[in-house]
Amino acid sequence: MTEVLQLFVNRIDTPIGKMLVVSDRDRNLRAVDWADYEARMRRLLCLHYGKSGFRLDPTHDLNRLTDAIGSYFAGELEAIDDLPVETGGTPFQRQVWRALRKIRCGMTVSYAQLAERIGRPAAVRAVGLANGSNPVGVVVPCHRVIGSDGSLTGYGGGIERKRWLLEHEQRALR
């Protein structure tokens, strides 16, 4: 019998809405999403761990993860840089997600540039799909990926949140 992965969810207030922070017993981030997209987050968890492969329990314990995310929103952008992340996903998705964490705060790259960075210049569409299925938004900064023409393209939390996150990083760096 396969062991069920116990996950914990914290709900924290941010300037752009309530955020869900999901971690495991070892305090690795497993998912970060917005409360208004909780159903999507649960579907992704089912996809990565199986419908019966995890249990999601509420917790009100503030820990290093939620403290660091709160600090990021307070302007200490580097507070989330070294948070431990443990995700499901395919090897390709995880490669894209690792590359996202290397995008410097306050900077943006296009999907094509991200594809080049991982050595797969022809995989622009696949990079876009992997970016869009990132389960750990903000910490794995998929919001820093934009269109080749500089436009703000899709973001799972909505374009207005993406715009806010990019402007927040620019303000804090000034």
pLDDT tens sequence across 122-158:
999 999 999 999 999 999 999 999 998 988 888 888 8
User: What's the pLDDT score for residue 172?
Assistant: 84
CA 102 to CA 109: how far, in whole Å? 11
Return the closest-CA partner of residue 30 out of 5, 61, 3, 64.
5
What separation, in Å, do the N-terminal and C-terminal C-alpha atoms of the chain show? 54
Domain 91-173: top CATH class: mainly alpha
**Confidence bin at 48 (pLDDT 50/70/90):** confident
The pLDDT-based confidence of 1 (bands split at 50, 70, 90) is low
Domain 5-80 = CATH 3.40.50: no
Whole-angstrom distance, CA of residue 134 vs CA of residue 141: 9
Are 110 and 82 spatial neighbours (Cβ–Cβ below 8 Å)?
Answer: no
Residues acting as catalytic residues: 142
Q: pLDDT at position 157, please?
A: 86
pLDDT > 70 in the chain, percent: 98
Query: Domains of the chain: which residue ranges?
Result: 5-80, 91-173
Give residue 62's pLDDT: 62
For residue 159, CA distances in Å to 50, 69, 106, 111, 112 come to 30, 20, 17, 16, 20
Q: Is the pLDDT of residue 174 over 90?
A: no
